[in-house]
Amino acid sequence: MPGGASGALAGFSDLTANTESPLFRLAESHMSSAETVTTNCVITAEFLKELAAVVGPARLLSSKDELLVYECDGYVVEKSVPDVVVFPENAAEVVAIVTACGKHRIPFVPRGAGTSLAGGCLPVGGGVMIAMTKMRQIVDINLRDRYAVVEPGVVNVNLTRALAGTGFHYAPDPSSQGACTLGGNVATNSGGPHTLKYGVTVNHVLGVEFVSPQGELIQIGGPCGRGNGFDLPGLFVGSEGTFGVVTKIWVRITRNPAAYRTMLAIFDSVDDTTQAISNIIGAGIVPAALEMMDKGIVAALEQAFHFGFPLDAEAVLLIEVDGLEVAVDAEAETITRLCKDSGAREVRLSQTEKERALLWKCRKQAFGAIGRLSPSYCTQDGVVPRTKVPEILRFIAEVSKRHDIRIVNVFHAGDGNLHPILLFDERNAEQVKRVMLASDEILGKCIDLGGSVTGEHGIGVEKISFMNRLFTDEDLTVMEDVRKAFNPDGRCSPGKLLPTAGACGMEHIEKQHPGRKAAM
């Protein structure tokens, strides 16, 4: 688990052992829904033997101590220990594992690095966790045809590292890229700072090989794209592990920009900052990245990295433009002018590669610095139309005041993708309640402003209760039908993404125990 995300919450560490727990009830009710074949997750010695025959004893965990590590991901509010964790090394082993699960009617969940911030790999109801981290080969890199073939356990940054010096890179760059896997990225349709210009994961996935919940090895799309059929890779990306286990991915690789200019614009008021964002996008400029950090987060970053951020500024914008050497200066100048017109006190241009790298390190490791601000924190992932950023930030400030909860902001401003981080102490139950109320109000306001409750972290188990505020009953029925086309009995990642039977147990927990989660 990445920094700050671990640590059991009081009262929750024994959840999984307790059959009376809401989580257990959730799993049980989920499993007894009409189409679900699993009635109980009973792990027999015979089943374990079958799994051991596939992966060998060294790649199978079943003792309580070992399993505890896998009780949650970056979302630590809800926990559930899997009954078994297996580490397949190839697609054939995944087929055998999934087939055995089918035979014994055991639920299973794929897991990458476990950096999900939405409980995506929570093994709801126990069962088998299929950890994909041993499938980490970069199978092929083809620069001329601009694609790479990777196994799902490849850590995001390792692909870009493998491409270093070639003039190409893999564009989606989640802030967790040093840890998260490409399989996890495909499952969650990850974004990152540079997705403003380059798009999210789905825009870079050409094909996927996966093991269906029935145990078939299926390829959709491939190096030449999807061919003549439906865009099944497009549908698969973002399915949060509920369609099957990804065993191979064909990704597009992107030319490195010839030049970039990285700027830090410094503002004395949040309103001026958000106005600048709105003015830049409104002027039809799409920078490579446009990230905002407010005073609270800047103070923590300065303590951690000594970059030289101005501590008296109310907010800063990290802006990068890239492209042709002949064009970037003009774009940087226009942005500087727009920032100054919006009231920026100063706009600094990164003078050296070292300075630029440090600036990005600060941004991408912002989560690590948050621990300095508060014992616990909860990161939200709302989205609003880009021009509503000023309005939502004013609302967040107002909510913060009203509930007396400190909130800091570090987020993908150019996309309107917010990450308000609510700071609190989880030992203070009353404060915890206020954090929940504040989070709820912020996400509700995102919906009211025409946005969404998740821009990149996914629904997982965390945001299921928002689904029927975003979608109609009919929408959700259609989505449920699509889920059934891939995963008819719901044994693959049960209790995720859709508010099917049983999800209601969850809000109860959500309301009372916000997680101490990694920010981004």
Ligand X SMILES: Cc1cc2nc3c(=O)[nH]c(=O)nc-3n(C[C@H](O)[C@H](O)[C@H](O)COP(=O)(O)OP(=O)(O)OC[C@H]3O[C@@H](n4cnc5c(N)ncnc54)[C@H](O)[C@@H]3O)c2cc1C
Site residues for ligand X, 450-479, by CB under 6 A, read: 456-457
Binding mask 362-381 toward ligand X (x if CB under 6 A, else -) reads -----x--------------
Under rule CB under 8 A, how many of the chain's residues touch another protein?
Answer: 83
Other CB atoms within 10 A of residue 387 CB: 15
Q: Please, are residues 213 and 338 in contact by the beta-carbon 8 Å criterion?
A: no
Q: Please, are residues 354 and 282 in contact by the beta-carbon 8 Å criterion?
A: no
Stretch that binds ligand X, among 110-118, 162-170, 283-291, 437-445 (CB under 6 A): 110-118
Give CA–CA dist 96/161, Å, rounded: 32
Determine, following the binding rule CB under 8 A, whether residue 330 of this chain makes contact with another protein. yes
Of the pair 119, 368, the CB lying nearest another protein is at 119
Of the pair 101, 332, the CB lying nearest ligand X is at 101
Determine, following the binding rule CB under 6 A, whether residue 175 of this chain makes contact with ligand X. yes
Determine, following the binding rule CB under 8 A, whether residue 63 of this chain makes contact with another protein. no
Residue with tokens 């991408």: 364
The interface partner of residue 109, options being ligand X, another protein, none and the CB cut-off 5 to 8 Å by kind, is: ligand X
Of the pair 386, 434, the CB lying nearest ligand X is at 386
Among 320, 415, 426, 510, binds another protein (CB under 8 A): 415
The interface partner of residue 132, options being ligand X, another protein, none and the CB cut-off 5 to 8 Å by kind, is: ligand X
Binding mask 186-205 toward another protein (x if CB under 8 A, else -) reads --xx-x---x---xx-xx--
The interface partner of residue 237, options being another protein, ligand X, none and the CB cut-off 5 to 8 Å by kind, is: another protein
Q: Using CB under 6 A, which residues numbered 44 to 103 contact ligand X?
A: 73-74
Residue type, 235: L
Q: State the angle between helix axes of 45-55 and 91-104 in degrees (0 to 180), rounded to the nearest 10.
A: 170
Give CA–CA dist 90/504, Å, rounded: 37
The interface partner of residue 175, options being another protein, ligand X, none and the CB cut-off 5 to 8 Å by kind, is: ligand X
Determine, following the binding rule CB under 6 A, whether residue 520 of this chain makes contact with ligand X. yes
If you compute the radius of gyration of the chain from its CA atoms, what whole number of angstroms results?
Answer: 23
The DSSP secondary structure of 287-341, one letter per residue, reads -SEEEEEEHHHHHHHHHHH-----TT-SEEEEEEEEE-HHHHHHHHHHHHHHHHH
Q: Please, are residues 409 and 421 in contact by the beta-carbon 8 Å criterion?
A: yes
Q: Please, are residues 423 and 430 in contact by the beta-carbon 8 Å criterion?
A: no
Long-range residue pairs from 64-71, CB within 8 A, at least 24 positions apart, any chain: 70/111, 70/114, 70/123, 70/129, 70/131, 71/16
Which positions touch ligand X (CB under 6 A)? Answer: 2, 5, 73-74, 109-117, 120-121, 132, 152, 174-176, 180-181, 183-185, 187-188, 190-192, 240-241, 245-246, 367, 456-457, 493, 518, 520
